[in-house]
Amino acid sequence: MNTVEKALMHGLFVHLHHNIDQAIDFKMFQQLNQMVEKVSPGALLIGPEANDDAAVFSMPGDDGLFVAKMESHCSPCVPRPYASAATGAGGAMRDVVAMGARPLFLLDFIGTRPLKEEVIVGPCGFKGECTCGSCKTMTSGDRINLMVKGIRDMCETMGVFVVGGGFSTSFSDIVPAVVVAVIGRMVVEKPLTKPAKKAGDRLIILGNTSNDGNDTLYRAGLVKSMLPAEALFSEEKNTMEAALAAIKTGKINACSDLGAAGLGAAVSESVRFGRLGAKVDLALVPVKTKGLSPEEILICETQARMLFQVDPHDVAEVMDAANSNGVAVAEIGEITAGKEAVFVYEEKEVARIPHQAPKELTE
Protein backbone atom coordinates (compact mmCIF):
# COMPACT_ATOMS: atom_id res chain seq x y z
CA MET A 1 0.00 0.00 0.00
CA ASN A 2 1.65 3.27 -1.09
CA THR A 3 1.21 6.63 0.66
CA VAL A 4 -1.68 7.96 -1.42
CA GLU A 5 -3.51 4.62 -1.23
CA LYS A 6 -3.10 4.67 2.55
CA ALA A 7 -4.50 8.20 2.80
CA LEU A 8 -7.41 7.55 0.47
CA MET A 9 -8.38 4.25 2.07
CA HIS A 10 -8.10 5.79 5.54
CA GLY A 11 -10.61 8.42 4.43
CA LEU A 12 -12.92 5.91 2.75
CA PHE A 13 -12.88 3.13 5.36
CA VAL A 14 -11.71 4.57 8.69
CA HIS A 15 -12.45 8.28 9.09
CA LEU A 16 -16.05 8.92 10.13
CA HIS A 17 -16.56 11.61 7.47
CA HIS A 18 -17.14 8.77 4.98
CA ASN A 19 -18.36 6.21 7.53
CA ILE A 20 -21.10 7.90 9.52
CA ASP A 21 -22.95 4.58 9.86
CA GLN A 22 -20.13 3.40 12.17
CA ALA A 23 -21.14 6.07 14.69
CA ILE A 24 -24.89 6.45 14.09
CA ASP A 25 -27.52 3.72 13.95
CA PHE A 26 -29.47 4.62 10.82
CA LYS A 27 -32.08 1.99 11.69
CA MET A 28 -33.50 4.44 14.22
CA PHE A 29 -34.21 6.91 11.44
CA GLN A 30 -35.54 4.22 9.14
CA GLN A 31 -38.04 3.16 11.80
CA LEU A 32 -39.10 6.77 12.35
CA ASN A 33 -39.43 7.44 8.63
CA GLN A 34 -41.56 4.32 8.18
CA MET A 35 -43.98 5.77 10.71
CA VAL A 36 -44.01 9.15 8.95
CA GLU A 37 -44.58 7.34 5.64
CA LYS A 38 -48.08 6.51 6.86
CA VAL A 39 -48.82 10.23 7.20
CA SER A 40 -47.10 11.39 3.99
CA PRO A 41 -46.84 8.40 1.62
CA GLY A 42 -43.98 8.66 -0.87
CA ALA A 43 -42.65 11.94 0.56
CA LEU A 44 -39.12 10.62 1.24
CA LEU A 45 -37.34 9.33 -1.85
CA ILE A 46 -33.73 9.20 -0.63
CA GLY A 47 -33.02 9.17 3.11
CA PRO A 48 -29.96 9.15 5.41
CA GLU A 49 -29.21 5.45 4.98
CA ALA A 50 -28.74 5.74 1.20
CA ASN A 51 -25.03 6.75 1.31
CA ASP A 52 -25.74 9.43 -1.26
CA ASP A 53 -24.76 13.08 -1.58
CA ALA A 54 -28.03 14.49 -0.20
CA ALA A 55 -31.62 13.68 0.75
CA VAL A 56 -34.49 13.93 -1.73
CA PHE A 57 -38.11 14.49 -0.69
CA SER A 58 -41.42 15.93 -1.80
CA MET A 59 -43.62 18.46 -0.04
CA PRO A 60 -47.30 17.57 0.33
CA GLY A 61 -49.27 19.59 -2.20
CA ASP A 62 -46.20 20.37 -4.35
CA ASP A 63 -45.52 18.46 -7.56
CA GLY A 64 -41.76 19.09 -7.48
CA LEU A 65 -38.94 17.44 -5.53
CA PHE A 66 -36.61 19.03 -3.01
CA VAL A 67 -33.05 18.20 -2.02
CA ALA A 68 -31.44 18.88 1.37
CA LYS A 69 -27.89 18.55 2.65
CA MET A 70 -26.17 19.42 5.95
CA GLU A 71 -22.40 19.66 6.09
CA SER A 72 -19.80 20.69 8.67
CA HIS A 73 -16.49 22.37 8.00
CA CYS A 74 -15.19 22.70 11.54
CA SER A 75 -11.50 21.73 11.60
CA PRO A 76 -10.53 23.62 8.41
CA CYS A 77 -11.84 26.83 10.02
CA VAL A 78 -8.97 26.73 12.52
CA PRO A 79 -6.27 27.64 9.98
CA ARG A 80 -8.54 29.41 7.45
CA PRO A 81 -11.88 30.58 8.94
CA TYR A 82 -13.09 32.72 6.02
CA ALA A 83 -12.21 30.40 3.13
CA SER A 84 -13.17 27.21 4.95
CA ALA A 85 -16.59 28.47 5.99
CA ALA A 86 -17.13 29.48 2.38
CA THR A 87 -16.03 26.08 1.04
CA GLY A 88 -18.27 24.36 3.58
CA ALA A 89 -21.24 26.24 2.17
CA GLY A 90 -20.08 25.64 -1.40
CA GLY A 91 -19.57 21.95 -0.76
CA ALA A 92 -23.09 21.51 0.60
CA MET A 93 -24.44 23.34 -2.44
CA ARG A 94 -22.54 21.00 -4.77
CA ASP A 95 -24.01 18.01 -2.95
CA VAL A 96 -27.47 19.41 -3.72
CA VAL A 97 -26.51 19.93 -7.36
CA ALA A 98 -25.18 16.36 -7.51
CA MET A 99 -28.72 15.07 -6.94
CA GLY A 100 -30.06 17.23 -9.79
CA ALA A 101 -31.21 20.34 -7.94
CA ARG A 102 -30.50 24.07 -7.83
CA PRO A 103 -29.58 25.31 -4.31
CA LEU A 104 -32.01 27.93 -3.00
CA PHE A 105 -31.87 28.28 0.78
CA LEU A 106 -29.19 27.95 3.48
CA LEU A 107 -29.28 27.73 7.27
CA ASP A 108 -26.08 27.86 9.31
CA PHE A 109 -24.94 27.14 12.85
CA ILE A 110 -21.76 28.48 14.42
CA GLY A 111 -20.51 27.46 17.85
CA THR A 112 -17.38 28.92 19.39
CA ARG A 113 -15.61 30.09 22.52
CA PRO A 114 -16.83 33.23 24.32
CA LEU A 115 -16.50 36.28 22.09
CA LYS A 116 -13.62 37.97 23.95
CA GLU A 117 -11.39 34.89 24.26
CA GLU A 118 -8.32 34.83 22.06
CA VAL A 119 -7.86 32.20 19.36
CA ILE A 120 -4.96 31.42 17.03
CA VAL A 121 -5.77 31.46 13.33
CA GLY A 122 -3.23 29.73 11.11
CA PRO A 123 -1.25 26.49 10.74
CA CYS A 124 -0.51 26.30 14.50
CA GLY A 125 -4.11 26.86 15.55
CA PHE A 126 -4.58 23.23 16.62
CA LYS A 127 -1.58 23.44 18.98
CA GLY A 128 -2.78 26.58 20.74
CA GLU A 129 0.62 28.22 20.34
CA CYS A 130 2.24 29.67 17.22
CA THR A 131 5.71 28.38 16.41
CA CYS A 132 5.73 29.18 12.66
CA GLY A 133 5.52 32.96 12.93
CA SER A 134 2.72 33.30 10.36
CA CYS A 135 -0.39 32.81 12.52
CA LYS A 136 -2.66 35.60 13.74
CA THR A 137 -4.12 36.02 17.20
CA MET A 138 -7.63 37.43 17.31
CA THR A 139 -10.74 37.27 19.45
CA SER A 140 -13.29 34.55 18.97
CA GLY A 141 -15.71 37.29 17.95
CA ASP A 142 -13.40 38.46 15.16
CA ARG A 143 -13.06 34.89 13.91
CA ILE A 144 -16.85 34.50 13.90
CA ASN A 145 -17.13 37.55 11.67
CA LEU A 146 -14.72 35.94 9.19
CA MET A 147 -16.67 32.67 9.13
CA VAL A 148 -20.02 34.40 8.74
CA LYS A 149 -18.62 36.55 5.92
CA GLY A 150 -17.29 33.44 4.15
CA ILE A 151 -20.73 31.82 4.21
CA ARG A 152 -22.43 35.07 3.22
CA ASP A 153 -20.09 35.71 0.28
CA MET A 154 -20.56 32.19 -1.10
CA CYS A 155 -24.33 32.52 -0.85
CA GLU A 156 -24.26 35.86 -2.68
CA THR A 157 -22.17 34.34 -5.46
CA MET A 158 -24.42 31.31 -5.84
CA GLY A 159 -27.74 33.17 -5.55
CA VAL A 160 -28.73 31.37 -2.33
CA PHE A 161 -30.85 32.89 0.47
CA VAL A 162 -29.69 32.66 4.10
CA VAL A 163 -32.98 31.98 5.86
CA GLY A 164 -31.89 31.19 9.42
CA GLY A 165 -29.56 29.27 11.68
CA GLY A 166 -28.16 29.12 15.19
CA PHE A 167 -25.32 30.46 17.32
CA SER A 168 -23.57 29.50 20.57
CA THR A 169 -20.57 30.79 22.52
CA SER A 170 -20.52 27.88 24.99
CA PHE A 171 -17.87 25.86 23.13
CA SER A 172 -14.54 25.29 24.87
CA ASP A 173 -12.68 23.37 22.17
CA ILE A 174 -10.03 24.85 19.88
CA VAL A 175 -12.13 23.80 16.89
CA PRO A 176 -15.29 25.88 16.28
CA ALA A 177 -18.53 24.36 15.02
CA VAL A 178 -19.36 25.51 11.51
CA VAL A 179 -22.37 23.73 10.03
CA VAL A 180 -24.55 24.60 7.04
CA ALA A 181 -27.76 23.09 5.68
CA VAL A 182 -28.77 23.75 2.06
CA ILE A 183 -32.15 23.13 0.44
CA GLY A 184 -32.75 23.15 -3.31
CA ARG A 185 -35.38 22.27 -5.90
CA MET A 186 -34.90 19.55 -8.53
CA VAL A 187 -34.47 20.71 -12.13
CA VAL A 188 -35.21 17.23 -13.53
CA GLU A 189 -38.02 14.80 -12.78
CA LYS A 190 -35.95 12.06 -11.12
CA PRO A 191 -33.01 12.47 -8.72
CA LEU A 192 -29.52 11.52 -9.76
CA THR A 193 -27.65 9.16 -7.44
CA LYS A 194 -24.01 8.43 -6.67
CA PRO A 195 -23.68 4.63 -7.27
CA ALA A 196 -22.25 3.55 -10.64
CA LYS A 197 -24.96 2.07 -12.86
CA LYS A 198 -23.30 0.10 -15.67
CA ALA A 199 -19.94 -0.94 -17.06
CA GLY A 200 -18.91 1.05 -20.10
CA ASP A 201 -20.22 4.41 -18.89
CA ARG A 202 -17.69 7.18 -19.36
CA LEU A 203 -16.43 9.39 -16.54
CA ILE A 204 -16.60 13.13 -17.22
CA ILE A 205 -15.10 15.72 -14.90
CA LEU A 206 -16.12 19.38 -14.68
CA GLY A 207 -13.74 22.03 -13.34
CA ASN A 208 -10.00 22.44 -12.93
CA THR A 209 -7.83 20.67 -10.38
CA SER A 210 -5.05 22.28 -8.33
CA ASN A 211 -2.90 21.20 -5.39
CA ASP A 212 -4.98 22.82 -2.63
CA GLY A 213 -6.84 20.91 0.05
CA ASN A 214 -4.80 18.30 1.94
CA ASP A 215 -7.41 17.47 4.61
CA THR A 216 -7.41 13.75 3.81
CA LEU A 217 -3.62 13.54 3.99
CA TYR A 218 -3.68 15.43 7.31
CA ARG A 219 -6.34 13.22 8.88
CA ALA A 220 -4.39 10.13 7.84
CA GLY A 221 -1.37 11.51 9.70
CA LEU A 222 0.72 11.86 6.53
CA VAL A 223 1.33 15.64 6.68
CA LYS A 224 1.99 17.88 9.68
CA SER A 225 -0.16 20.90 8.77
CA MET A 226 -3.71 21.13 7.44
CA LEU A 227 -3.95 23.31 4.35
CA PRO A 228 -7.65 23.46 3.45
CA ALA A 229 -8.93 23.99 -0.08
CA GLU A 230 -9.13 27.54 -1.36
CA ALA A 231 -12.54 29.16 -1.73
CA LEU A 232 -13.41 29.54 -5.42
CA PHE A 233 -16.39 31.83 -5.71
CA SER A 234 -16.91 32.59 -9.41
CA GLU A 235 -15.67 29.09 -10.31
CA GLU A 236 -18.31 27.54 -8.02
CA LYS A 237 -21.03 29.55 -9.75
CA ASN A 238 -19.80 28.61 -13.23
CA THR A 239 -19.47 24.94 -12.34
CA MET A 240 -22.97 24.86 -10.85
CA GLU A 241 -24.49 26.37 -14.00
CA ALA A 242 -22.45 24.00 -16.20
CA ALA A 243 -23.51 21.00 -14.13
CA LEU A 244 -27.19 21.97 -14.17
CA ALA A 245 -27.04 22.47 -17.94
CA ALA A 246 -25.55 19.01 -18.35
CA ILE A 247 -28.06 17.47 -15.95
CA LYS A 248 -30.97 18.97 -17.89
CA THR A 249 -29.95 16.89 -20.92
CA GLY A 250 -31.31 13.89 -19.02
CA LYS A 251 -28.23 11.88 -20.04
CA ILE A 252 -26.43 11.64 -16.66
CA ASN A 253 -26.52 8.11 -15.20
CA ALA A 254 -24.68 8.89 -11.96
CA CYS A 255 -23.25 12.02 -10.40
CA SER A 256 -21.09 13.12 -7.48
CA ASP A 257 -19.35 16.28 -6.40
CA LEU A 258 -15.63 16.27 -5.64
CA GLY A 259 -15.28 17.13 -1.97
CA ALA A 260 -13.35 15.31 0.76
CA ALA A 261 -10.56 13.14 -0.73
CA GLY A 262 -11.29 14.66 -4.12
CA LEU A 263 -11.46 12.64 -7.30
CA GLY A 264 -10.24 9.50 -5.53
CA ALA A 265 -13.22 9.37 -3.18
CA ALA A 266 -15.80 10.41 -5.78
CA VAL A 267 -14.83 7.53 -8.09
CA SER A 268 -14.11 4.93 -5.41
CA GLU A 269 -17.35 5.47 -3.51
CA SER A 270 -19.43 5.42 -6.67
CA VAL A 271 -18.11 2.07 -7.85
CA ARG A 272 -18.14 0.64 -4.33
CA PHE A 273 -21.84 1.41 -3.87
CA GLY A 274 -22.60 0.32 -7.44
CA ARG A 275 -20.56 -2.90 -7.05
CA LEU A 276 -18.58 -2.13 -10.18
CA GLY A 277 -15.08 -0.93 -11.02
CA ALA A 278 -13.44 2.02 -12.74
CA LYS A 279 -10.28 2.98 -14.58
CA VAL A 280 -9.22 6.63 -14.54
CA ASP A 281 -6.31 8.25 -16.38
CA LEU A 282 -5.21 11.14 -14.17
CA ALA A 283 -3.23 12.61 -17.07
CA LEU A 284 -6.55 13.56 -18.70
CA VAL A 285 -7.80 15.63 -15.74
CA PRO A 286 -7.87 19.40 -16.48
CA VAL A 287 -5.45 21.23 -14.16
CA LYS A 288 -4.84 24.90 -13.45
CA THR A 289 -1.50 24.41 -11.68
CA LYS A 290 1.41 23.18 -13.75
CA GLY A 291 3.59 20.38 -12.46
CA LEU A 292 0.96 18.59 -10.35
CA SER A 293 1.93 15.08 -9.35
CA PRO A 294 -0.48 12.24 -10.18
CA GLU A 295 -1.03 11.79 -6.44
CA GLU A 296 -2.07 15.43 -6.04
CA ILE A 297 -4.51 15.15 -8.94
CA LEU A 298 -5.99 12.05 -7.31
CA ILE A 299 -6.54 13.26 -3.76
CA CYS A 300 -6.41 17.06 -3.54
CA GLU A 301 -9.72 18.70 -2.62
CA THR A 302 -9.90 21.62 -5.05
CA GLN A 303 -13.42 23.04 -5.04
CA ALA A 304 -15.85 23.75 -7.91
CA ARG A 305 -15.65 20.27 -9.49
CA MET A 306 -18.24 17.63 -10.39
CA LEU A 307 -18.11 14.10 -11.78
CA PHE A 308 -20.63 12.56 -14.22
CA GLN A 309 -21.13 9.04 -15.55
CA VAL A 310 -22.52 9.01 -19.08
CA ASP A 311 -23.29 6.46 -21.76
CA PRO A 312 -20.62 6.58 -24.51
CA HIS A 313 -23.22 7.70 -27.09
CA ASP A 314 -24.17 10.71 -24.94
CA VAL A 315 -20.71 12.00 -24.04
CA ALA A 316 -20.58 14.69 -26.75
CA GLU A 317 -24.02 16.07 -25.88
CA VAL A 318 -23.26 16.25 -22.16
CA MET A 319 -19.84 17.84 -22.69
CA ASP A 320 -21.29 20.41 -25.09
CA ALA A 321 -24.00 21.37 -22.60
CA ALA A 322 -21.50 21.75 -19.76
CA ASN A 323 -18.90 23.54 -21.86
CA SER A 324 -21.41 26.19 -22.85
CA ASN A 325 -20.66 27.82 -19.49
CA GLY A 326 -16.92 28.00 -20.13
CA VAL A 327 -15.98 25.38 -17.55
CA ALA A 328 -13.20 22.89 -18.26
CA VAL A 329 -14.71 19.52 -19.18
CA ALA A 330 -12.89 16.26 -19.92
CA GLU A 331 -13.51 12.55 -20.34
CA ILE A 332 -11.09 10.85 -17.95
CA GLY A 333 -12.03 7.17 -17.77
CA GLU A 334 -14.79 4.62 -17.64
CA ILE A 335 -16.78 2.31 -15.40
CA THR A 336 -15.63 -1.30 -15.63
CA ALA A 337 -17.00 -4.70 -14.64
CA GLY A 338 -14.26 -5.03 -12.01
CA LYS A 339 -14.45 -4.64 -8.24
CA GLU A 340 -11.98 -1.84 -7.61
CA ALA A 341 -11.09 1.68 -8.74
CA VAL A 342 -7.80 1.82 -10.62
CA PHE A 343 -6.05 5.16 -11.13
CA VAL A 344 -3.24 5.47 -13.65
CA TYR A 345 -1.15 8.28 -15.09
CA GLU A 346 -0.41 7.57 -18.74
CA GLU A 347 -0.81 3.83 -18.03
CA LYS A 348 1.47 3.86 -14.97
CA GLU A 349 -0.56 2.73 -11.97
CA VAL A 350 -0.86 5.30 -9.19
CA ALA A 351 -3.42 3.69 -6.87
CA ARG A 352 -5.77 0.73 -6.70
CA ILE A 353 -8.68 1.07 -4.29
CA PRO A 354 -10.76 -2.03 -3.41
CA HIS A 355 -14.35 -2.10 -2.20
CA GLN A 356 -13.32 -3.40 1.22
CA ALA A 357 -10.67 -2.10 3.61
CA PRO A 358 -7.41 -4.11 3.67
CA LYS A 359 -6.76 -5.89 6.97
CA GLU A 360 -3.62 -3.87 7.70
CA LEU A 361 -5.71 -0.70 7.67
CA THR A 362 -8.31 -1.82 10.17
CA GLU A 363 -6.33 -4.02 12.56
54-89: pLDDT as tens digits: 999 999 888 899 999 999 999 999 999 999 999 999
Residues 80, 127: Cα–Cα separation, whole Å: 15
Per-residue pLDDT band at 351 (split at 50, 70, 90): very high
Write phi, then psi, for 268 (nearest 5 degrees): -65, -40
Q: Do 212 and 342 fall into the same domain?
A: yes
Q: Do 357 and 212 fall into the same domain?
A: yes
Which of 190, 211, 239 represents a domain boundary (last residue)? Answer: 190
Measured between its terminal Cα atoms, the distance across the chain in Å is 15
Residues 48, 54: Cα–Cα separation, whole Å: 8
Does position 100 have pLDDT exceeding 90, yes or no?
yes
Predicted local distance difference test score (pLDDT) of residue 223: 76
Give the range of the structural domain holding residue 118, as residue numbers without chain letter. 63-190
Domain count, the chain: 2
Which of 190, 224, 246 represents a domain boundary (last residue)? Answer: 190
- Is residue 157 in some structural domain? yes
Q: Do 142 and 209 fall into the same domain?
A: no
Which of 139, 160, 190 represents a domain boundary (last residue)? Answer: 190
Mean pLDDT, the chain, rounded, equals 93
Q: What is the pTM (predicted TM-score) of this model? A: 0.94
How many CB atoms are located within 10 Å of the residue 209 CB?
Answer: 26
Amino acid letter for position 203: L
The residue among 142, 84, 85 whose CA lies nearest residue 108 is 85
Amino acid letter for position 214: N
Per-residue pLDDT band at 90 (split at 50, 70, 90): very high
Predicted local distance difference test score (pLDDT) of residue 362: 65
Predicted local distance difference test score (pLDDT) of residue 11: 84
Helix (H, G, I), strand (E, B) or coil at 251: coil
Q: Do 211 and 180 fall into the same domain?
A: no
Q: Do 213 and 312 fall into the same domain?
A: yes
